[in-house]
Structure 1
Amino acid sequence: MTLRLATRADLEGLPLDIAPRLLGAQLQTVVDGAEVHLRITEVEAYHGQGTGPTPDPGSHARMGRTARNDTMWGEPGHLYVYLSHGIHSCVNVVCGPDGLAGGVLLRAGSVIAGADAAASRSGRTGRDLARGPGRLGQVSGLRHALHDGIDAITGDTLNGARAQLWLGDPVTGIAAGPRVGVAGIAGTSAFPWRFWIDGDPSVSPFRWGRGAADAQAMLN
Structure 2
Amino acid sequence: MSFFGHLATFFTFAALVLQVFSMIGSTHNSPFLRDLYFAKVDVASQYVIFGLWGYCTGTSSGGVQMCSKPVPGFDWSKISELSEYVGGLHSLEKLFLANFILYWIALGFTFIALIVTIMSHFRRGPDLLASIMTFIAFVVMLVVFVIVLVISIRGINTAKGVDSSVHGTLGPATWMTMGAFIALLFSSVNYCFACICGGGRRVKSEKV
TM-score (normalised: structure 1):
0.24
Structure with the greater relative contact order (CA < 8 A, sep ≥ 6): 1 or 2? 2
Choose 1 or 2 for highest CA Rg.
2
Q: Tell me which protein shows more strand as a share of its residues.
A: 1
With the length of structure 2 as denominator, give the TM-score of the two structures: 0.25
